[in-house]
Amino acid sequence: MAILNFGGVDEKVVTRDEFTLEKAREVLKDETIAVIGYGVQGPGQALNLRDNGFKVIVGQRKESKTWDKAVADGWVPGETLFEIEEAAKRGTIIEYLLSDAAQIALWPTIKKHLTAGKALYFSHGFGITYSERTGIVPPKDVDVIMVAPKGSGTSLRTMFLQGRGINSSYAVYQDATGHALDRCIALGIGVGSGYLFETTFKREVYSDLTGERGSLMGAIQGLLLAQYEVLRENGHTPSEAFNETVEELTQSLMPLFAAKGMDWMYANCSTTAQRGALDWMGPFHDAIKPVMEKLYDSVKTGNEAQISIDTNSQPDYREKLNAELKALHDSEMWRTGETVRKLRPENN
């Protein structure tokens, strides 16, 4: 474990150079890793662990699309693919990768198979942090650990196949065996993390829920839509509005600041663009920060968690969600985006 300086602040990180894949295999050589759930994170983590040489089984509900997907990915029913309860029984490490709502519903089933010495693994701090709402309280004689990749399961798998890795946070909530940290780091290396940085279950869920509702998803859609609407209301065509709002950002500018930072991106734009960006970032910051503070408070108080629990547990949740996503897809901005993407050189 190394101490690295981030912007003047020291943090603990673990890299693949110091905690090698060979060491991870040695730590987990006698473990059976049961990946429960094959939806968002499950496939990427299970496949990466399998390809890295660990003993992995998958637990998923039979007669479901995700069961069929698991079979298509090479998991063999009765050998490496089981019903959820059977997988939980067989696993010495239970990777609990169901949705938050499903974790709540299936907790009684999982809990009875958490016998002494096993490890309960999460990739999100939700169930533990909001335990008074979720009812997820693990037995005292099991390890409770977390590795949270900072990206989707799809990206985790794609980057693994490219020889890269998504950075992940890690945390130990409960160390019953004395080996929880080694188990945790070994799993983080096994799933293909770029590097691992220390957190807690509470800090992870607070930052994660804020990020999803903020700059990663909610705020970015709100910002893009606001600019697109203003351009359209002032006579700009859909193509022009979309290119100036989305296409230039994602295709030209994001790769620059992803590679070397925002100052590098600014330095590679015109002096007019630089001046305007420097002048207007302050007003945007001042307008947005109160909203971010309100959002963080809603996360911290558990309000966002309760909204998710209440909404996601409704029987018609999926139907309503699909309707909302369809409305987003059918909006003029993203229908324009479909056409713009088809016109990219690589698609012609």
Of the candidates 122, 88, 121, the residue with the CA atom closest to the CA atom of residue 106: 88
SS3 state at 110: helix
Q: Residue 124: phi, psi to the nearest 5?
A: -160, 140
- SS3 category, 99: coil
| Beta strands 33-36 and 119-122, pairing class | unpaired
The token pair at 259 is 């590679």
Phi then psi for residue 325, to 5 deg, are: -65, -35
User: Rg (Cα) of the chain, in Å, rounded?
Assistant: 22
How far apart are the C-alpha atoms of 267 and 282, rounded to whole Å? 18
Mapped onto helix, strand or coil, the DSSP state of residue 58 is: strand
Name, in order, each residue with C-beta under 8 angstroms of 46's C-beta and a sequence gap of 6 or more.
35, 38, 56, 58, 75, 95
Question: 135: alpha, beta or left, given left = phi > 0 and alpha = psi -120 to 50?
Answer: left
Burial class (CB in 10 A: 0-12, 13-18, 19+), 125: buried
How far apart (Å, rounded) are the C-alpha atoms in residues 53 and 26? 11
| CA–CA separation, 255 and 259 (whole Å) | 6
Pairing of strands 193-198, 9-15: antiparallel
Catalytic residues: 124
**Residues forming beta bridges with residue 10, ordered by sequence position:** 5
